[in-house]
Amino acid sequence: MKRTFAIIFAAVAAGALFAALVHAVLVATHVSEPAATTVYGLTPRRLWATTVAGLALVGVATGGLVLARPASRFSTACGRLGAIVTLAAGLISVVTGGRLLAIANGGPGSGNGVVGAAAALVLGLIATVLGVLALVRRRIPLGA
């Protein structure tokens, strides 16, 4: 019972921290104010931001697997390939999320995908850090 409560508490705390970081990114980029007119439905920028956030989430998951599991010859997510995939997904997400936030001309509800872009930026930074940690932990040179 105590372990279940601890896991639930950790998940809620991680979700709250993630939401706070996304809000901080929106405030820092001056797109935190809601749009005057709300755009409903899927716009191209929302689709792009959601796709990049999904890529960042894959990078975070792969990075977690790389750091949690020992290296083996048969697993693609546990060695050099997993660390490089994590790093690449993180960097792509950071650059694309930042670009989407830079060209946005409205806040949440404007159809620009700013919430997804902020989420991609935060998750991309986490994936990048995990990728670098995996490369350093395994002492894998980037050029090798």
Using one digit for the tens of pLDDT, what is the confidence trace for 70-85? 655 555 556 778 888 8
Q: What confidence score (pLDDT) does residue 130 get?
A: 92
Q: What confidence score (pLDDT) does residue 143 get?
A: 57
- Contact yes or no for 115/39 (Cβ under 8 A): no
Nearest to 38 by CA among 115, 134, 119, 122: 115
Listing DSSP states for 21-74 in one string gives HHHHHHHHTT--SPPSSPPPS--HHHHHHHHHHHHHHHHHHHHHHHHHS---SS
Angle between helices 44-68 and 80-103 (to 10 degrees): 150
- Contact yes or no for 95/60 (Cβ under 8 A): no
pLDDT in tens, 26-58: 888 888 788 777 888 888 889 999 999 999 999
**If you count them, how many residues does the chain have?**
144
pLDDT in tens, 116-125: 999 999 999 9
* 87 HSE (CA, 13 A, CB side): 15
pLDDT-based confidence at residue 16 (cuts at 50, 70, 90): very high
The domain ranges of the chain are 2-138
Q: What confidence score (pLDDT) does residue 59 get?
A: 93
- Contact yes or no for 133/120 (Cβ under 8 A): no
Q: Residues of the chain with pLDDT > 90: what percent?
A: 35
- Res 93 pLDDT > 90: yes
Q: What confidence score (pLDDT) does residue 75 get?
A: 58
CA distance 85 to 63: 8
CA distance 34 to 130: 33
Report in angstroms the alpha-carbon separations of 62 from 9, 29, 69, 98, 103.
Answer: 23, 28, 11, 22, 29
